[in-house]
Structure 1
Amino acid sequence: MNAAGFRRLAVATWVATFVLIVLGGIVRVSGSGLGCGPEGSGFHGWPFCNGDLVPGLDLNAVIEYAHRVAAGLVGLMILSLFLLAQSRRVEARGLRPLTAGLLVLVVAQAGLGGLTVEEGLDERLVAAHLGLAMLLLGGLLLLVRMSASARSTSADHRRSSKGVRWLAWATAVIVLATIVAGGYMAGTQNYGRPDYRLGDGAHHACGKEFPTCNGDFMPFGQSRLVDIHLTHRAFMYLAVLLTIALVVAAQRRRATAPLVARRARILGLLVVLQVLLGALNVWLDEYELLIVAHLALGTLVWAAALDTALASSLVRATVAEPTAAQPAVRPAAARAS
C-alpha cells in the first residue's frame, strides 16, 4: 500500500471509530450494556455472549454483540495501520510510535469494555471507557493530519501566536473533560440494570431546568446526583467561554493563520449546536434519539477542538511516497568559485 492508501485507511479508521462510539451510545440507551450477561458473568459474558461465541436473537444481546464486532473491526484496522507504518512502503517519520500507541489504546479499550460489563456498568468505568474512546479518536485524528498529503499551502501553516495555541489546547482539554463528566452522568442512569426506572440517575437531577437547576443557578451540595449533573454543566460553561475566546482570538489573526481561524469557526458552530441539543435533553423527556445525538455531536466537538489545536501547533504532513534521492544543489557561492 502506498502513502495515499495509508491516508485513506487512516481516514476510514477514524470514521469507523466515530461510528463505534455512536453505536456504544445506542447500546447504552437501549439497555443493552448487559445484553450478553449480568454483572459478574466472567468469561460467560465477555468475550462470550451469554456463554456463546455468537448470540441468539435476543435484541439486547444482538445490539451489544454488534458493538463488540464493530470494536473488533476497528482493532483490525488499527493493527493494519501499525503494520503498514512499520513497513518500508511508506516513509513514516513519527507515525511508527503513534500507531504503536494507538494499538495499545485499542487493546486497553477492549479490556476496559470487558471490565465495565463485569462490574455491572459502574459509572466510573463508563466514564473511563468513554474518555479512552475519545483519546483513541483523537489519536487517529492526529494520524490523519500527520499523514495528510502536502497539498496545503504555506499560508495555511503560518505559525499561530503562542496565546492562540495555549487557548486552543486548553479548549480541547476542557471539551474532553466535559465529555467524560457527561459519560459519568450517563453512567448513573442504570440503563440495562434490573433496578432501572425512567427518570432515575443524574439526567434530570435538575428537573427540566436549564440554565437554572432546581430554582437556582449552580446549587452544588443539594445531592450527589445534582452535583454530578452540575459538574458536567460547569465544564460545559468553561468550554463555551474558552471557545468564544478562541474564535475571537483566531479571527483577529486570520490573516496570519487562516487555517486555525477556519477550524475555530467550525468549532464555534458545533459548540452552539451542542449546547442547544443538551438543553433539549433537559427540557424534554428522555428521548433515546436526543441522547445519542448529543453523544455524536459532542464527539464531533471534541474532534473539532483537537483539530483546531493541532492546526495551531503546525502538525504537518510526514508521509510521502518514497522517491529517488535528488542530487544535492550546490550553494550559489560555491558555484561562483
Structure 2
Amino acid sequence: MGKRIAVLGAGSWGTVLANLLVENGHDVRLWTHDPAQLPEINEQHTNEHYLPGFHLHEALHASTDLEASLKDVDAILFVVPTNAIRSVATQVLPLLAERSVKPIIIHAAKGLEKGSKKRISEVLTEVLPDDLIRGIVVISGPSHAEDVAAGDITTLTAASVSVECAQAVQAIFMNQYFRLYTNTDVIGVELGAALKNVIAIGAGALHGLGYGDNTKAALMTRGLAEITRLGVVFGAEPLTFIGLSGVGDLIVTCTSVHSRNWRAGDQLGQGAKIDDVLANMGMVVEGYSTAKVAHELASEVGVEMPISEAIYQVLYQDAPIKEVIADLMGREGKPEFDFQG
C-alpha cells in the first residue's frame, strides 16, 4: 500500500527521489521555496536546471504550500541544503503540532551545520520533539541524482537508532534499481557523508592539476583514514566507514564529473578562485562549508587530519595548492595505521 510522503526540496536529489517514490506507487508532494519552479515541474514535467533532459512522472506535483504538502503524510523527506535544514524544520514544527499522526522524518542531506557544527539529525532532533515524530532516518551512500534518474543500480544506507523506522524507510524506497540496507550507526553515516565532500574537493583539484590515478588513490585512502579517526572520536563504528556511506560514497564523489564538490576542486586545480567557483556552480558545494566545520571539530578534539586541513587552507586561507601538496609530502614518516595521523 502506498504511503503519503512530503519531499522538501526540489533540487536535483530531491526531485529524483520524489520521482522514484512516485514510481514506487506513493502519494508524493514535492515542496519548493521557489515558485518559479512550479510551472515547469507541474506542466512540462521537467526540472532542466538541475536535471537536464530528464522527464518527470506526470503524477509528481510540486507546491510552495508547505501546510498542504504536509497534510496527513506518513513521512517527511528533507532534501534541502544543510544550512537550510534548521530553518525549514522550524517552519515544519507548528504544522506537525496540529497533527495526530506522527510522521517518520527522513533526511538525505550531506553536511554539518555551520556555527553549531552539528550533524543534521542533531539539528532535526533539536527542532522537532520526539512526541511529534516517529523517529529520524538518514539515507546516504554512493548516489548521483543523474544516475538514479537513468535507472542505474544504486545502493544506499538507511540509518536510524530505531530499526523499525529504518526498515520502514527501506521498504518505501526499494525497487528493481534502488536498494537500501539498514544501519543503526547514525553518527558514522552522517559524518562519512559530510566529510567525504571535503576530500572530493581535493580529488578534483588533483585532476585539475594533472595528477594521475596513483595520486587520486592515495588521497582517497588517506582521506578515508582521517574521516574514520574523527568519526570514531565522536562515537561512530569504524566498520561504517568501509560501508556504503563511507568508502562507497567517497569513491563516487571523488571520481565523477557529476559531483559538484569534485567539479569545484577541478576548477581550483586549474587556477580558478574559490569565490568564482562557488558563484558559477549553480548549486550548493557542501564540501566548502564542511571543510571549515571539519577544521574546527578536529581542532577541538585534537584529531590530526592533514589532508582535510590542507584543503581548508586552500579554501579559506588562499594557500597555493602546490605548496600544500608539498607540505603534505614533506611530513615525517609514520606507520600506516597510526591513529594519531
Give the TM bin, normalised by the shorter chain: under 0.3
Larger Rg: 1
More RCO (CA 8 Å, sep 6+): 1
Q: Which has the higher helix share?
A: 1
Q: Which has the higher strand share?
A: 2
TM-score w.r.t. length of structure 1: 0.27
